[in-house]
A and B are shown apart, each in its own frame.
Chain A
Amino acid sequence: MKRFADLHLRVPLKNLHQAESMIRKASELGYNLVGIALSPHATREQISQLRHICSDAKVDFVTRVNFSPRTPNELLYSLRRYRRKFEIVAVRCHTKDVARQAAKDRRVDLLQFSVTSLRKRFFDEAEAELASQALSSLEIELTPMLQLTSFSRVRLLSSLRREVATAERFKVPIMISSGATNELFMRGPRDYAALATLFDLPMSSALRALSDNPWVTVERNRKKLSADYVAPGIHVVGRKTDA
């Protein structure tokens, strides 16, 4: 049985009641893991409150941070400062320089692009090649697809189709997430997979983008963040303590 993940819930941290209802809805819809976007300055208390709500709803909780840097240097600064605090790091690329830097940096997990300004979608072949070497993934949020209408949606679908084809060609993992800000924009994983077929992502790949791909990234990052991790392929298997 597949374990589904929604790596991007935009839960309002100031309204814990709504946060709780969104997390419960995710659990009802069949997700086993939810990623909640937090501010880089999120307090431990906020994180533990969310963790508590998630454990009550029987879903695994992943901390996530979204960066929107204006320059590559700003991105590097944010990564140096916050990477170890969060399990998932997503970068919204507003410029080509930032997109290239994010794609080649192994500390970046997810690459996001603008949904309103299609000229700012920089996921081309060069970007895909860098991303595939650095194990970054292309994140596709489906809430904008629900919100947009007529030609805006047509244009978005057309760009997504091109990007998905590029990602598949360069073997860049694709992650599908909701990006939902309230319960009414949340859908079940199989519904999202059906929506992903609109931009020619095959059903099997769409289901993988909602289950295996996010889980692999989360587990890899959790290993890296654990105290036993030393370097890629090296981890502490036991410690000797002097009595």
Chain B
Amino acid sequence: MLKREKRRYLALEVVSEQPLNEQTVLDTVQSSVHRLFGEYGASQANLKLIKFIPEKRQFVIRCSHKALERVRAAIASTTEINGKTAAIHVLGVSGTLKALSKKTRNI
């Protein structure tokens, strides 16, 4: 029987002074993963943007649980967005969106 792939949800916060949109943040994370781990690693990460709250500069992404550490490393290695200095912090990680919203109450 085919096993269902486990996933992890990451709540993230962007520290940057420039305006952000959904596509920019997802592209930034994806390009970080791609830069560090290449096309093969990026394909295993299976990234998807779940939620974006522009006013709080927070967003939730989903990735494969096997690629969690790699995605986390890629997020931590992000130092710029659209050529301007920025940082992305992980606020919480969970296996379900419900548990993630409990952990990080303001998301």
Q: Which residues of A contact B (CB under 8 A)?
A: 29, 145-147, 183-188, 190-192, 194-195, 197-198, 203
Contacts and interface: CB of A to CB of B under 8 A. Distances in A.
Secondary structure type dominating chain A contacts: helix
Given A184-B86, A203-B69, A191 B76 contact: yes
Interface size range on B against A = 10 to 19
Interface in B78-95: 79, 85-87, 89-90
Interface of B: 15, 36, 69-70, 72-73, 75-77, 79, 85-87, 89-90
Given A146-B79, A183-B15, A188-B89, 11 more contacts: A29-B89, A145-B77, A146-B76, A183-B87, A184-B15, A184-B87, A187-B76, A190-B90, A191-B76, A197-B69, A198-B73
Contacts of B69: 194, 197, 203
B73 A197 contact: yes
Contact of A184 (B70, B73, B79): B79
Contact of A198 (B15, B36, B86): B36
Contacts of A190: 72, 90
B75 A191 contact: yes
Contacts of B75: 191
Nearest to B16: A184
Nearest to A196: B73
Nearest to A28: B89
A191 B15 CA distance: 15
A236 B49 CA distance: 60
Contacts of A203: 69
